[in-house]
């Protein structure tokens, strides 16, 4: 049986050029401890409750907006996108930590998700997260399988992996997470995001850190394409240029190549993979924006990678690939 291949490649020359600059940028950036009480449980919260919060929140941490921005107010403070998602998550957690019990999640309805993941839009109405039906399905699947396979214990799931991410027998944590629909992405974005959270919080001591990968989403893909770390040719280049939808396999192939490029970048720059991801994700949200990227802004908001960006003069024409109907990222 033939395997479909795509005209995508890692650009080693660009990696070598970008590595020393990004090394300095990351070294001077603060490290997120994931303890901000607006978004995450405090360190004194019970371990299993904290693990439940992270595994269920990451399960629904994919594109929050589709037709209208997911942004609104919680306690008179404005939040956007993933910030609003996790702010609403912590509001629910503070109100009732038992909400994140697998037994409750196993029976969660779309209407309950809509009521939970909505906020004051500041205009007298409410804004609700995109695809609540899909998110309810992901949460139910995760809750039910956690109960059946691990007695409802996320701690047991992690312990069963021996703190390994991947193992030849398929018993690493990333391997085991694939049984859950929310974590079934072949590029393993949500799996590595979950692991990044819990490692940073000291909830897992990873035995095989060489198996860590960046959680590749649309932000990281857009950055790799603009910096020239990954080059695309042929049909996929045409689709990028004309904003034509990517097929499932094309999305997977592109993001796997992007992941490979960042793995090489982390080695050349001597950076921890997850520290690199911290910078890339925030860089994609604040600077290397899909629309109106801050390529030539001066002063405090200047792009720190402008001098090593292969496409700085045409960045707006190189946006992320068109693959919207997914719960992978």
Verify that 62 and 110 share a domain, yes or no.
yes
The percent of residues above 70 in pLDDT, for the chain, comes to 98
Q: How far apart are alpha carbons 132 and 138 in whole angstroms?
A: 10
Q: Which domain holds residue 152?
A: 47-160
Q: Which residue has the higher pLDDT, 315 or 48?
A: 48
Residue 8 bridge partners (DSSP): 232
Verify that 65 and 26 share a domain, yes or no.
no
Q: How far apart are alpha carbons 258 and 185 in whole angstroms?
A: 15
Residue 76 resides in a domain: yes
Verify that 24 and 102 share a domain, yes or no.
no
pLDDT at residue 142 in the model: 99
Residue 188 resides in a domain: no
CATH code: domain of residue 227: 1.10.1670
Residue 121 resides in a domain: yes
Asked whether residue 1 carries a pLDDT value surpassing 50, the answer given is no
Give this prediction's pTM. 0.96
Q: How far apart are alpha carbons 288 and 295 in whole angstroms?
A: 7
Tokens of 290: 């899909």
Q: Is 309 left (phi over 0), alpha (psi -120 to 50) or beta?
A: beta
Instruction: Please say which residue of 141, 160, 179 terminates a domain.
Output: 160
Residue 189 resides in a domain: no
In sequence order, the 6+-apart residues with CB closer than 8 A to the CB of 316 are 291, 292, 293
What kind and span of H or E run contains 231? strand 230-232
Residue 256 resides in a domain: yes
Place of tokens 């992690």: 158
Residue 185 resides in a domain: no
Verify that 153 and 99 share a domain, yes or no.
yes
Residue 294 resides in a domain: yes
Instruction: Say how many domains are in the chain.
Output: 2
**139, 137, 133, 158: which is closest to 92 by C-alpha?**
139
Q: How far apart are alpha carbons 8 and 221 in whole angstroms?
A: 13
Asked whether residue 5 carries a pLDDT value surpassing 90, the answer given is no
Tokens of 326: 């997914």
Tokens of 180: 């859950």
Tokens of 140: 């139910």
Q: How confident is the model at residue 3 (pLDDT cuts 50, 70, 90)?
A: very low
Tokens of 311: 């496409």
pLDDT at residue 2 in the model: 43
Instruction: Please say which residue of 160, 183, 199 terminates a domain.
Output: 160
Residue 170 resides in a domain: no
Verify that 28 and 51 share a domain, yes or no.
no
Q: How far apart are alpha carbons 21 and 129 in whole angstroms?
A: 37
Verify that 156 and 58 share a domain, yes or no.
yes
Q: To the nearest 5 percent, what fractions of the chain are helix, strand and coil?
A: 55, 5, 40
Q: Is 73 left (phi over 0), alpha (psi -120 to 50) or beta?
A: beta
Verify that 14 and 66 share a domain, yes or no.
no
Q: 242 in helix, strand or coil?
A: coil
Q: How far apart are alpha carbons 128 and 43 in whole angstroms?
A: 30
Verify that 27 and 52 share a domain, yes or no.
no
Average pLDDT over residues 62-75: 95
Verify that 141 and 220 share a domain, yes or no.
no
Asked whether residue 319 carries a pLDDT value surpassing 90, the answer given is no
Verify that 92 and 146 share a domain, yes or no.
yes
Verify that 55 and 151 share a domain, yes or no.
yes
Q: How confident is the model at residue 30 (pLDDT cuts 50, 70, 90)?
A: confident
Verify that 28 and 81 share a domain, yes or no.
no
Tokens of 321: 């690939």
Place of tokens 């997850």: 274
């Amino acid at each position: 049986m033939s395997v479909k291949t795509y005209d995508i490649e890692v650009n080693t020359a660009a990696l070598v050029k970008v590595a020393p600059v990004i090394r300095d940028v990351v070294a001077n950036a603060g490290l997120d401890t994931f303890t901000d009480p607006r978004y995450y449980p405090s360190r004194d919260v019970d371990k299993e409750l904290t693990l439940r919060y992270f595994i269920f929140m990451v399960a629904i941490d994919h594109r929050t907006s589709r037709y209208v921005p997911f942004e609104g107010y919680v306690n008179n403070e404005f939040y956007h996108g993933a910030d609003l998602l996790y702010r609403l998550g912590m509001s629910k957690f503070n109100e009732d930590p038992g909400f994140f019990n697998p037994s409750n999640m196993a029976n969660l309805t779309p209407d309950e998700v809509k009521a939970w993941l909505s906020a004051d839009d500041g205009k007298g109405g409410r804004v609700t997260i995109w695809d609540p039906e899909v998110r309810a399905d992901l949460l139910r699947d995760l809750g039910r399988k956690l109960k059946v396979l691990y007695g409802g214990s996320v701690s047991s799931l992690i312990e069963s992996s021996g703190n390994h991410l991947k193992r030849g027998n398929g018993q690493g944590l990333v391997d085991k997470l694939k049984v859950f629909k929310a974590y079934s992405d072949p590029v393993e974005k949500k799996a590595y995001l979950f692991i990044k959270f819990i490692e940073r919080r000291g909830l897992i001591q990873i035995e095989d850190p060489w198996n860590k990968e960046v959680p590749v989403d649309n932000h990281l893909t857009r950055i790799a394409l603009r910096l020239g770390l990954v080059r695309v040719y042929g049909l996929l280049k045409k689709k990028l240029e004309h904003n034509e939808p990517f097929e499932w396999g094309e999305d997977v192939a592109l993001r796997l190549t992007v992941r490979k490029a960042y793995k090489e970048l982390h080695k050349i720059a001597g950076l921890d993979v997850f520290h690199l991801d911290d910078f890339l994700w925030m860089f994609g949200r604040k600077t290397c924006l899909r629309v109106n990227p801050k390529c030539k802004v001066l002063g405090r908001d200047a792009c720190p990678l402008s001098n090593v960006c292969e496409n700085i003069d045409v960045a707006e024409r190189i946006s992320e690939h068109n693959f919207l109907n997914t719960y992978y990222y």
